[in-house]
Chain A
């Protein structure tokens, strides 16, 4: 089955700096890679996603890159703000017909300090 590894487990940056979170996956058939943000005590929410036919996607201060050959993808947050503090999960999804499974990484706790 799919295995997703995520690093680092914790990340502390100063406000205004950039943050990078990296993930690797094992199933070369995986074709969809979302990133979820989970604030303390709340539900995970999708912040950005990328499909296997795209190498990079950007949405304002957030960008995701995908290297299919190396089977890794990364989340980049620029100009970090205190409200970016949360746990971020990467995930990889493989599909077989209508069966699908989204495997999550172990999460990165991002702390943005003033």
Chain B
């Protein structure tokens, strides 16, 4: 158990719909990352939040958005879903020491498997 919790584990929906994926980071971790992993593909970085603020953005579509709340949990919102959005969405968290070196290690959740029909 990595300490990172993601819900739901599985989600099946139709094209054009909107879904929200939720992530609770490890206790004490301020930084949250979202990754998309399509079938037999690598891990595509979507977005990073640090203590409620967006810090880095990757190949995230405009139909997707995310936020990190004051309690540090994060949500990834996917709208106008297309078949190609079917994937495993991972959330990860890490410790970030302000003013010091980053610990580096990412702790991944079990992922949310999204199927768009």
Contacts and interface: CB of A to CB of B under 8 A. Distances in A.
B56 A43 contact: no
B45 A99 contact: no
B109 interface: yes
Contact of A102 (B2, B41, B98, B106): B106
A98 B41 CA distance: 28
A101 to B, nearest CB: 5
A43 B109 contact: yes
Contacts of A43: 2, 90, 108-111
Interface of B: 2, 31, 33, 35, 41-43, 45, 48, 50, 55-56, 58, 90, 96, 98, 102, 104-106, 108-111
Max count, chain A CB within 10 A of own CB: residue among B2, B58, B102:
B102
B56 A99 contact: yes
A99 B94 CA distance: 12
13 contacts: A42-B110, A43-B90, A43-B110, A51-B104, A89-B43, A95-B102, A99-B48, A100-B55, A100-B96, A101-B45, A102-B45, A104-B42, A106-B42
Interface residues of A, number: 23
Interface of A: 32, 34, 36, 42-46, 49, 51, 89, 93, 95, 98-107
A99 B42 contact: no
Q: What 6 A-B pairs come out closest when comparing CB atoms? A: A43-B108, A106-B42, A104-B43, A99-B55, A32-B104, A101-B56
B37 to A, nearest CB: 9
Given A101-B56, A101-B58, A49 B48 contact: no
A98 B96 contact: yes
